[in-house]
Every structure is written in C-alpha cells, then in structure tokens.
Copies of this chain bind each other. A is one copy, B any other.
Amino acid sequence: MSKNLWKVSTDTFVNEKESIMRMGNVYQIANGYMGYRGTLDEFGPDELVGITVAGIFDRVGDSWREPVNAPNGAYTKLIVDGAEISALTTTIKKHTQHLNLENAVFERETSYEAAGKTITVHSTRFLSADKPNLGVVKYSLITDKAAKVIINTGIDCNIWDLNGKHLVDLKLEMNEGALLVHAVTNELGKKVAAAEMIDCSFGKETHSTAGNQNLHIIELDTEAGKTYTFYKYFTVFTENDNVPSVMEAAIKAATDAKNAGYEKCLSDHNAQWAKKWEYCDVKIDGDDEAQQALRYSIFELLIVAPVNGSANSIPARALSGQVYKGAIFWDTEMFMFPFFLYTYPEKAVELMRYRIKTLDGARRKAKTESVGFDGAFYAWESQDDGDDACTYFNIGDPNTGRDLRTHFRDKQVHISGDVAIAMWEYFKLTGDDSLLLEGGAEVILECARFYFSYAYFQKNKNRYEILDVIGPDEYHERVNNNAFTNMVTKATFEIANATVAYLKEKHPAAFTTLVKKINIENELPLFVEAEKLLYVPQPNEDGIIEQFDAYFKLKDTSIKELKAKMIHPNEYLGAGQGLAVPTKVIKQADVVMMLNMFKDRYSKDIKKANWEYYEPRTEHGSSLSACAYAMVATEFGNLDFAYDYFMRTAKIDIEAKYKVYVGTIFMGGSHPAANGGAWMTAVFGFGGVQSTAKHVSINPRLYKKWNSLQFNMIYKGDRFNITIGQNKVEVIAAATNKTTHTFIISEQSLVAAPGKTLVHVVLAKNLA
C-alpha cells in the first residue's frame, strides 16, 4: 500500500483567511474528547485556532448556545533577533504539513527567512487516543546562523468564539512548573481547567501572563544548524469529567504525561489507533483516489467517536469548531451510526446513550412545543441537556437582513423516529438488549407516544395521517403526509410494538416496571392500531411516490432556472417564501432517502422510477443528499452515477470545497454525516451488505474500476473480514467468534462458522 494513502499533505501555505479556515478543517485532529483545528503553532483566534470540547455548552446573552472552546495549550511562537516569526507575516522559504491518518498526528515544517537568517520549525501534534484529556506537541527549531531566539510557549487564552466569551473568571497561574488556566463557563458556571507542561533542556525560562497568554518565555542563543527540541503536554478538564478538582486533574494529567515522556505517550496513542483501523479500515484495490477519500472519511469519523462512557454524540460539524451550535442532528443516527454499529459498536452505544441521557429534554420539548404533545420529541439541534438549540428563526435572509422563521425545530418530527430506528437497529444487529433495558425501550415507547399524539385520524379515509411536518427536504416546510416522515412514523410504531412483544417475553418484570413508570399501558393498543392504519404514500401508476400531499402540483422548474432568480448568492431557498418553495425543486434526498432506509419494502423498479424522477429535481443543498442517491443507484445498477456521487460524498472534507454559508449563517466545518455516507455507499452500496436480525446478506455490485473492496464488520458481536472481488466474495469469520452466522451471498445461503472462510463465486449476472 502506497504511503500517501495514509497521509494528507501540502507544501504550500496560502496566506488568506478563507484558505486558513478550510485548511483548519482538513488538517484537524481530535480524540472524541476534543478537537484541535489544523492550524499552525503560532496562530491565534483570528486564524480560527479552536480546541472544541465535546459535550460542554455555553450561552452568552441572547446568542446561540454553542460548544465551549478550551484555552490553547499547544501554542508556541518564536521571536528571532527581535522579529516575531509567523506564517502570517514572515517570509516563508518552504512549508510542508501533513496529517497522518494512521494515528491522527499533525505535522508541519516551515522554513522562515527573517533578519537575514533561515529559521526552520518542525512540530508534531496529537490528541491522545489513549488519554482523552491530553494533547502532546513535539517542537523543534534550527537557525542556519547563530541567533537570539525567544520561545513563547504555553497556553493562549485568546479563544476563538462565535457567540461571545464562554469562559469567565479566567485565572492564569504557574504551579510547580505547570501552567494552569482555570475558569468557569458563563451560563452554568461549569469549571474548566487547562494545564501545560514543557520538557525543555535549553535556554533560560521566565513566566509571563501578559496579553491573556500564560507562557513560558525561553531565551536561547542558538548555534547555527543545531536542532533544539522541546515537548509540550497540555490537558483540558471540565466539570463533565467528574473529577474532584478539574485543576488538580489537569495538572496531574500533564505531569503524568511529561513523566511518561513523548515516546510513551505516542506509542500508547498509536496502539489505540492500530485497533481503530483494524476494526474500521476499508480497502479499495485499484482506485487510489477513492481509497484516499474513503479512508479520510473514516478517519474523520474515528477522531470524533465519543469517549467510552461519555454518553456523548457527534455534532453535525464534528469537533471542527462551534458552527451549527455543536449540535447533534439526525445526521448522527442516519448517517454516522451505521458505520459505528458495523465496525465499532462500543461507540455506537455511546451515541444511543446520548439519546437516553437526553430523553427528558425530548419530553420537555414535546410538552412545550406548539399545543403540547405527549412522549418524546427529540431536539432538532441537540446539545447537552436535550433541549432544542434550534431557534424559530434559524436562518438570516441576506436580502432583507431579517431572520427567517424556519420550522426545523417544531416540524421536523422525523427526528424522534430516527432515534427509535437506530435504537432498534442496535438491538437487532448486535443482539444485545442491555441498551433497551437501560433506557432504550423507554426512548422507543416515548417516541411512539409522541407520534400518536401528533397524528390525526381522517374519518373519510379511515387512516391516520401525519400533518404539518418538514421532511429531509427542508425547502418545503409544513407539508402533510411526507412519505419519508410517515414511513419513519410507521416504523416507530412497528418498533414500539416489537419492543413491547420482546420485553413481555424476555423481560416481563422490566416491562411491567417500565409501563408503570411511564404510565403507558392504555396507549399500547393504540400503537397497534396506528401501525395498521397509518397512511404511507404509495407509488402512483408511474411508480412515483409523491413526496408529500400535493407535491405533484408544484411548479416544475429547473434548478438552473430557479437559481437565476436569486438576488443574493447566499439567500436561502426555503422558509416560507424561498424560491424553491412553490416548485418541485428539493434540497436533498427525501423519497429516495426513504427508499434507501427502507430498501426491503420497495422493488428495484420503484427505486429506479423514483430516483429518475427526483434526482434532476434535487439541488443536493445538503451534504447528506448525494450518498442516498448513490446507494439507491447501486441497487438498480446505475453504478457510474453511484460512483460519481460516492466520490462527491467521500471527497467533501478532504477537498473542502463546500459552501460555508446558509443565508447569513457561517457553517464551515467538517461533515461527519457525509463521511458516514461515504462508508455506507462503499459497504452497503457497492458492497451490497445488508443485515437483518437473522442474517447478513451481500449482493455485490462492485464498481468496474475496483479490483476489490475489503472491510471488516461486527455482527451479533462476532467479527468478519469481507473481501468482495469482481467475481468472488470471501468472508472470513474470526476464530474468536462465539457462534455461526448465516450469510446470504447473491441469494446463496452460507454458514460462517468461527475461524472459517466462506468463498462464494459471483456470477456476472449478479453484478447488476
């Protein structure tokens, strides 16, 4: 395997805000606990240096609540012969930077020219995958001539925040060699501490807290050509960590790391990464471009997978900053969760625990939204407490400068069903019912309860309908009987009824306790009726499913025609009076998303017909759209298209050409849902993998360019390595597996016993 498939590199530095912002996304590292944007050691808030901490939020005044960024303990800036050295202001002779995908290490080397001398700095940075609160930097410098160098290194407390100053009462101290910053969050007064220690064997050190920076000042007269290397160990702790003292914990973790030393920290970190890749890598033989893009996508998911036991989830822009309020959307369940469920279930559990943790928030939302509903209406934009961070005016209109009333928060009701479906998928594919018992069943029943209270019965038509919603296509708000939403609702009733049946049989006592706790006994028969009588729009005579009531009556206009009418390039096309609203132009996969989610329920012909109808009408204004179209395209054999959209999805973050504004809102950052979509398109789409409670089926439709697709998966707790070639499928069941499993490969049922390899020769006709 060529080395560059494990590395993202550049040898240029473009000194423009826009490029620095985008590169900050591409080169970011993270360890689930926190992210560190791909910025240079000497950068500050203006260059969007950000250490975004998962699961801690704060609000200033009337602004949005958003994640808290920690003080930057990885900061280092040099002064050489009195001149500040920075990529922003100093002449650069040479610059290279790398992101190592193997172990999430960021590396940069820059040669500067200043005061007639060449100064070369080299640093490596990683956030420990072994110790979540820890970050480590190795920093080296060489001057080509003797020079007077002052190293400013420590914690920069000038923090990039989108909506105000979240850390208040900042105290900058030095404590037995450790720099310490402690503070509390503005809104809830949560304690936050950052510490930093250096391991430096040269120069003369003093301490400074000027300019809101807590720094070691190291004065050094360099010898020409000699390398000076020092190490930084920086830590972040918050009250969410459940430690007796965040300050003491921060200092201790930094001290322990320093005592262990750089190499030990790195090897512990690498060991974790080796395991991640062992579980999660996907190999595409014969297509390096696809390989790199997909691996980068997987990397992006791995760096933000929640810390075990945290009950955190993954925000829509991951840990790349505070954009999108650091909020968790349906993106997680529908686009990221499958990757973890198939490859790294201990992370999938955390995502689901997050929804259990925020169930009370979802209940509060149901009770208070509009006329009030029963059950659990999950937040459209969920933060730490499950209350909705989504506002009623979520997009600014660049044409008028006014905030638009959007209904994402109050009408995008499919979110509850998305959660219930993921919860049930976990049980179905792992066979592990512990999550159901620790709150998952309660989540499911409360979601069904919500839908029942939201549903209306149409007497003339003898059916339940789901009215006044937004489906995935957010350009059409307040629609009735959105096919996607109704199907998700129906699935939720099915799952609730299945949950009841399962618990009754397997855990009768727990069932009784739960039913009593949430006082739901009388409603259970209603869920059975609703499952039966809920209306789900069906294909018409042409096989097309109407996206929502009267969608077919909307104006059929081309996307080009529509965009020609835009007054402002960032104007939003939805929200009541947006240009797309009266037209058939949709933002993203909606019916096609449903066909993908519920692929068992629809024939190839229906999928093809709807795909062909909706694709030209889809603006793909969301990064979630292309992969749904790609996956459905693999099912009816349009592999060229599927490949094109797979590549668009897989390359979104590595290329970083995405739009960064919706209306007047900045939303630049990474796209973990697309990353998950890329993985799904490879494994579910081209690989044709689909799992039920009873078996795994594989209907390969490998792209012509690919010699093979190789990946790992976990099913019912057992591990498999699967290789799909152009004319055979190989399934290796791990020797440590506990039991046999059925694999149906191109309609042939095979049994995978522990330690055995199944080989199935695929006939050409099966390759669609």
Contacts and interface: CB of A to CB of B under 8 A. Distances in A.
B456 A405 contact: no
A201 interface: no
A564 to B, nearest CB: 13
A17 to B, nearest CB: 30
Contacts of A526: 459
A465 to B, nearest CB: 7
Given A456-B465, A457-B457, A467-B467, A405 B371 contact: no
A551 to B, nearest CB: 10
Given A456-B457, A456-B465, A576-B577, A550 B400 contact: no
Contact of A549 (B370, B402, B405, B550): B370
Contact of A467 (B374, B405, B468): B468
A399 interface: yes
B577 A405 contact: yes
B371 A549 contact: yes
A641 interface: no
Given A400-B567, A567-B400, A478 B478 contact: yes
Copies of the protein in its oligomer: 2
Nearest to A550: B370
A339 interface: no
Contact of A404 (B455, B460, B553, B577): B577
Range, interface on chain A: 20 to 34
Nearest to A410: B550
Nearest to A546: B371
A567 B399 CA distance: 11
Contacts of A399: 399-400
Nearest to A400: B399
Contacts of A577: 397, 402, 404-405, 575-577
A458 B456 contact: yes
A582 interface: yes
Contacts of A559: none
Contacts of A549: 370-371
Most chain B beta-carbon neighbours within 10 Å: one of A575, A576, A581: A576
Interface string A548-577: 011001000000000000010000000111
Contacts of A126: none
A43 to B, nearest CB: 40
A405 B576 contact: yes
A160 interface: no
A496 to B, nearest CB: 16
A374 B461 CA distance: 12
A370 to B, nearest CB: 5
Interface string A422-464: 0000000000000000000000000000001101111110000
Interface of A: 370-371, 374, 392-393, 397, 399-400, 402, 404-405, 452-453, 455-460, 465, 467-468, 478, 480, 526, 549-550, 553, 567, 575-577, 581-582
Pairs of residues from A and B, 6 with the lowest C-beta to C-beta distance, nearest first: A576-B576, A456-B456, A457-B457, A371-B549, A370-B550, A576-B577
Given A455-B459, A468-B480, A478-B478, 6 more contacts: A371-B550, A374-B460, A393-B582, A452-B460, A457-B458, A577-B577
